[in-house]
């Protein structure tokens, strides 16, 4: 009987010690906030604010690291300097993995998920939105010039170059697009257009919309889900040759972080399921046109969906 009691006491002590160690480990993991990376435009600011607020509500501490260029954010994740982010399928496919062959929305997602698994990065559920690149111009001018596709735009630009070079059209781009592998150079190849250096106006992506509206540029590169497209009465020109790939935004997390953070995948997937083009365009407009903060907009969105 004494031996049984001693054995039971030792076993109970070991069990309690193990439980304490597990509890302590859990506390240590959670006491170090996860680092959430985001890029340098409105939509990413909103997604970052939304994620921080919701994860904090779920008991997962998060520190935001904002305004990163795509390649910088990618390298930071590969180097384990950040833990999670919202990434776009097309960016991963073309910019990071240098795959330029056309793919469907589902095939693009499957491919980048497969490739990143080898890098220790998990792609969770993609949102039902496509923030692809697009070109836009003032709607009134597009109707006057009868320009509704990129091919029609190219024809008009080429005509002016040949007949009235002093009044060449100005085109606004963000600097990243000029140098991307899915950017300006390959687009010029597909659409057979040559742009002189003075025609290219490089600027912060957030300034392009105002530049189009105010006539500082004739046409500009925009994001398809930006709220200012509707707010500024711009017309998005049809990519009639299908140059731009799908850009479905998706939460991505380093594998080891996902494995060590219970509830993280479910929380991020919950957010992803709420996002489509209409929802994100409305949120973007609240920031860019109504001048609400990304934090305010994210907070109200979460409350509207019963998440806060």
pLDDT at residue 25 in the model: 44
Choose between 30 and 151: higher pLDDT. 151
Mean pLDDT computed over 129-147: 95
Mean pLDDT computed over 234-252: 94
Q: Could you tell me the pLDDT band of residue 96, with boundaries at 50, 70 and 90? A: very high
Is the pLDDT assigned to residue 101 strictly greater than 90?
no
Q: Could you tell me the pLDDT band of residue 271, with boundaries at 50, 70 and 90? A: very high
Give the Cα separation of 169 and 219 in Å (integer): 8
Give the Cα separation of 155 and 279 in Å (integer): 35
Q: Which are the contacts of 177, defined by CB distance < 8 A and separation ≥ 6? A: 133, 183, 184, 221
Is the pLDDT assigned to residue 262 strictly greater than 90?
yes
**β-strand 234-237 against 133-138: which pairing, if any?**
antiparallel
Strands in 171-173's sheet, in edge-to-edge order, are: 200-202, 171-173, 219-223, 133-138, 234-237
Q: Which are the contacts of 180, defined by CB distance < 8 A and separation ≥ 6? A: 94, 95
pLDDT at residue 145 in the model: 95
Give the Cα separation of 112 and 257 in Å (integer): 19
Is the pLDDT assigned to residue 29 strictly greater than 80?
no
Q: Which two tokens stand for residue 249?
A: 């935004």
Q: What percent of the chain has pLDDT over 90?
A: 75
Q: What percent of the chain has pLDDT over 70?
A: 90
The alpha helices in 118-207, defined as continuous H runs, are 139-145, 150-163, 175-179, 184-191
**b/e map 63-76, b = 16+ CB within 10 Å:** ebbeebebeebbeb
Closest CA to 129 of 264, 228, 251: 251
> For 50-92, how does the pLDDT look when each residue is reduced to its tens digit (9 = 90+)?
999 999 999 999 999 999 999 999 999 999 999 999 999 999 9
Strands in 84-88's sheet, in edge-to-edge order, are: 62-68, 34-39, 84-88, 249-254, 121-123
Mean pLDDT computed over 265-271: 98
pLDDT at residue 31 in the model: 58
pLDDT at residue 22 in the model: 44
Domains assigned to the chain = 32-130+247-304 (3.40.190.10), 133-237 (3.40.190.120)
Is the pLDDT assigned to residue 8 strictly greater than 60?
no
Mean pLDDT computed over 32-47: 96
Give the Cα separation of 37 and 67 in Å (integer): 8
**pTM of the complete model:** 0.76
Mean pLDDT of the chain: 90
Least confident of 145-159, 182-196, 222-236: 182-196
Is the pLDDT assigned to residue 100 strictly greater than 90?
no
Give the Cα separation of 135 and 137 in Å (integer): 7
DSSP state of 276: B
Closest CA to 126 of 18, 280, 240: 280
Is the pLDDT assigned to residue 285 strictly greater than 70?
yes
Beta-carbon-side half-sphere exposure of residue 39 (alpha carbons within 13 Å):
18
């Amino acid at each position: 009987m004494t031996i049984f009691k001693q054995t039971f006491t030792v076993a109970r002590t070991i069990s309690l010690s193990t439980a304490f160690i597990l509890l302590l480990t859990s506390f240590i993991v959670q006491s170090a906030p996860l680092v959430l990376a985001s890029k340098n435009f409105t939509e990413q600011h909103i997604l970052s604010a939304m994620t921080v607020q919701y994860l904090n509500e779920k008991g997962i501490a998060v520190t935001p690291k904002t305004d990163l260029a795509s390649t910088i954010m990618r390298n930071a994740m590969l180097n384990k300097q950040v833990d999670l982010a919202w990434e776009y399928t097309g960016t991963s496919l073309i910019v990071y993995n240098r795959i330029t062959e056309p793919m469907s929305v589902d095939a693009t997602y499957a491919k980048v998920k497969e490739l990143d698994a080898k890098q220790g990065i998990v792609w969770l559920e993609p949102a039902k939105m496509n923030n692809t690149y697009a070109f836009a111009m003032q709607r009134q001018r597009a109707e006057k010039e009868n320009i509704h596709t990129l091919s029609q735009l190219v024809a008009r630009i080429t005509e002016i170059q040949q007949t009235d070079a002093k009044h060449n059209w100005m085109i606004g781009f963000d600097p990243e697009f000029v140098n991307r592998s899915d950017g300006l150079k390959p687009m010029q190849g597909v659409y057979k257009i040559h742009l002189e250096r003075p025609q290219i106006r490089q600027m912060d992506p957030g300034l392009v919309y105002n530049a189009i509206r105010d006539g500082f540029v004739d046409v500009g590169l925009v994001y398809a889900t930006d709220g200012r497209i509707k707010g500024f009465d711009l017309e998005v020109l049809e990519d009639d040759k299908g140059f731009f790939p799908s850009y479905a935004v998706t939460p991505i997390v380093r594998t080891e972080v996902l494995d060590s953070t219970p509830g993280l995948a479910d929380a991020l997937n919950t957010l992803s399921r709420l996002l489509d083009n209409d929802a994100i365009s409305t949120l973007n407009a609240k920031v860019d046109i109504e001048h609400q903060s990304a934090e305010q907009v994210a907070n109200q969105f979460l409350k509207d969906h019963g998440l806060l």
